[in-house]
Structure 1
Amino acid sequence: MPKQAIIPPGTGVPLAPYVPGTLADGILYVSGTLPFDKDNNVVHAGDASAQTRHVLETIRGVVEAAGGTMDDVTFNHIFVKDFADYPKVNAVYAEFFPGVKPARYCIEANLVKPDALVEIASIAHIGKK
């Protein structure tokens, strides 16, 4: 099974050995995405809504670079630093997934940088429709 790295234009250098997405057999695996700018600085410190929007826009860029749309996303792994931000994350999330919602889970976790409030990883089925 050949696999293809998906790296949208303007993507910064990752903090660890990974790529933004990997496409294999029509399935796209999007790496855990944090609210980083291209230099791996956290954006929108203290604002869970803005960070969630940034993360989902970044994920959309990976999905589109692989030839898909957000409607192709079938599963999301969501990590929040504090469950107090859960309603804010959900409000923005609902904007990105207005139709049939992907399956998902959400857990509270420490994230790689202290100012990061949310991280999301996704799976999308971009192959045969």
Structure 2
Amino acid sequence: MPKTAIFPPGAGPTLAPYSPGTSADGIVYVSGTLALDKEFNVVHVGDAAKQTEFVLEQIKAVIGAAGGTMADVTFNHIFLTDWANYGAVNGVYGKYFPGDKPARYCIQCGLVKPDALVEIATIAHIGKK
């Protein structure tokens, strides 16, 4: 099964050797996404809600570039640096998934950028192309 790297329009370079997303057999895998600008600086430092919104917009762009929508998301992996931000993240997250919610897990851990508060990786099923 061939795979296709997904780089949404306007996407800058990646922080390490990976693609923002990969599609194979109608499934889109979105890499762990941080709230980073094109120079790899964390945006919205100290604001978990704004970082979550930024991250989900980046994920939405990757899925859109593959021909899908956020309604196609089936699973999210959520990483938080502090459980104190759990409520803020969920407040934004719920707006992006208003209908049937995708499965997910959420863990607390360190992230590659110290000012990053949240990272999300996503799987979406958009059908075979």
TM-score by length of 1: 0.98
Paired with 1:112 and 1:125, the residues of 2 have a C-alpha distance of 28
User: Mean alpha-carbon deviation: is it higher for 101-110 or for 11-20?
Assistant: 11-20
Structure 1: which amino acid aligns with 2:12?
G
1:86-114 C-alpha deviation (Å, 9 max, x unpaired) = 00000000000000000000000100011
Give SS of 2:119's match: strand
2:83 equivalent in structure 1: 83
Structure 2: give runs of 5+ residues left out of the alignment.
Answer: none
Equivalenced residue count is 128
Q: State the alpha-carbon separation in 2 of the partners of residues 28 and 127 from structure 1.
A: 9
Name the % identity: 70
In 2: Cα distance, 1:69 partner to 1:39 partner: 27
- C-alpha distance in 2, partners of 1:17/1:98? 33
Structure 1: gaps spanning 5 or more residues: none
Q: 1: CA distance between counterparts of 2:38 and 2:96?
A: 22
Question: Per-residue deviation at 1:3?
Answer: 0.5
SS of the residue 1:10 aligns to: coil
Aligned structure 1 segments of 4 or more residues deviating by more than 3 angstroms: none
CA positional deviation for 1:40: 1.1
Query: Taking structure 2 as the reference length, what is the TM-score of the superposition?
Result: 0.98
CA RMSD of superposed structures (Å)? 0.6
1:31, distance to aligned residue in structure 2 (A): 0.1
Tell me the secondary structure at the aligned position of residue 64 of structure 2.
helix
Which residue is 1:10 aligned to? 10
